[in-house]
Structure 1
Amino acid sequence: MADPAFRPALLVVDMQEDFCPPNGSLAVHEGRSITPLINSLLALPSSTLPLKIATKDWHPPDHISFASNHQGTGTESKRPFVDTANVVNPYNPSESYTTRLWPVHCVQSTPGAALIPELDTSQPTHIIEKGTDPRVEMYSAFYDPLTKPRVSDSGLAALLRSYAITHVYVVGLAADYCVRSTAEDAAREGFAAYVIEEATRAVDPAGWEGCRREIESKGVRVVRWEGSEVRRLFEGAHVES
């Protein structure tokens, strides 16, 4: 019998061509290598995982996170990975934040925005497109960082609640940006949030240890593939079968 106190969802974050070697414009080292683990989670029955969501960065060409859309010194654009930009709430100029700038990536309807073919795209129950508003960055699959008021909300929190989800497992790319922000917002929304460490990779691998500590300080548990939290999913599938 299913445990009503444990009703999990899987969030597969941004497994897209532009985030994966060898040709991605913002390729994360070993990004493709995590796909078999993710597919094994996606293959779990709906009785075990009633909600399986894949997310996609889905940016317009004029997105604020692209370094090429910002003027640097002289006639040159700002530099991806190195330079930053200030993002101002379009509805409230007193609220702003600083964001790291990136190469052009995951532009809507381009090959780089496609989910990688190795991913079993027959399994997700929902696809969420994020980062669609050119005025704000949106690492999290839930919403942008601005709050007074919020500029862009994907409806993910409401979707999870509509399925009575209690626990959220987050995998995909990248560990130190979109996976991190998604998991932290899941915890902020009151869900038990897990990041499966072997099923994600970081943009900046050298900084992952410190990033992991920061994630856990926000109420997220970073768990191992062989740990009890992941084993619980597969044991549940075995019981149901």
Structure 2
Amino acid sequence: MRALIIVDVQNDFLPGGALAVPEGDKVIPVINELQEKFDFIVATQDWHPADHSSFASQHPGKSPGDIVVVEGEDQILWPDHCVQGSFGAEFHQDLKQSNWRKVFQKGQNKLVDSYSGFHDNARKADTGLADYLLAQEVSEVYIVGLATDYCVKFTVLDALKEGFDTYVIEDASKAVNINPNDFTLALKDMSKSGAEIIRSRDISPE
């Protein structure tokens, strides 16, 4: 069976949000149309405590984009975003949610960031997503959302490590692009690791 995984299409990652992905809102109609082609859909949600260590506000004298060491791991600092219970952490109102099976929250441990929908960055804990998909006999995953060069990329890489046949839907994802070519580099990294890069038009309804 195949599953669609929608990664972090939340207000803070959309135009006007605290950590807006350029043109991030453009993926919403593409994802909504894709949902009509899948019987099994899950989503991930960034869900940070207000004092998360990835927030530049928690490190005096530091700014977003700086890198610090937290618990022995390099951590890029971000603006405060997707704080638990906040409007910024909510899924965008135009994103269809009625057919989702489950939402997997990540980034709840304030001492470690969590880009992937499967594991935190230090691989100390997992969200339960892999076990859930396997229990439902899912073998193929199609991954979309925000952002291509961070949470989508790491979700894809972990899906491959978990043994799923993994597809990235290129036109249903946008990148932060701290560097101008980060979107392209992320696609190359995912492809080299074994993911197939496809477009929404390539997918047939179930």
Q: TM-score range by the shorter chain?
A: over 0.9
Which residue of 126, 133, 140 maps to 1:153?
126
Which residue of 1, 19, 28 maps to 2:13?
19
* Structure 1 unaligned residues grouped into runs of 5+: 1-6, 89-95
The one-letter amino acid paired with 1:79 is S
Number of the residue aligned with 1:127: 103
Which residue of 181, 199, 202 maps to 2:172?
199
* Structure 2 unaligned residues grouped into runs of 5+: none
Number of the residue aligned with 2:48: 59
| Contact 1:43–1:123 (8 Å) recurs in 2 | no
Q: 1:199: how far off?
A: 0.0
Which residue of 87, 91, 102 maps to 1:115?
91
Q: Which has the larger radius of gyration?
A: 1
Distance between the aligned counterparts of 1:222 and 1:86, measured in 2?
A: 33
Number of the residue aligned with 1:3: none
The one-letter amino acid paired with 1:193 is T
4+ residue segments displaced more than 4 Å: none
Deviations 1:21-72 (A, max 9, x none): 1x2000001111111111112223xxx53x311111000011111011113x
Distance between the aligned counterparts of 1:43 and 1:225, measured in 2?
A: 11
| Contact 2:106–2:120 (8 Å) recurs in 1 | no
Q: 1:133: how far off?
A: 0.7
**Matched length:** 204
- Check if 1:189 corresponds to 2:162: yes
- Check if 1:79 corresponds to 2:63: yes
Q: 1:107: how far off?
A: 0.2
| Contact 1:42–1:124 (8 Å) recurs in 2 | no
Number of the residue aligned with 2:59: 70
TM-score by length of 1: 0.81
Number of the residue aligned with 2:145: 172
The one-letter amino acid paired with 1:139 is Y
| Contact 2:34–2:200 (8 Å) recurs in 1 | no
Distance between the aligned counterparts of 1:70 and 1:222, measured in 2?
A: 38
TM-score by length of 2: 0.94
Deviations 1:66-101 (A, max 9, x none): 011113xxxx2x111x2012132xxxxxxx321211
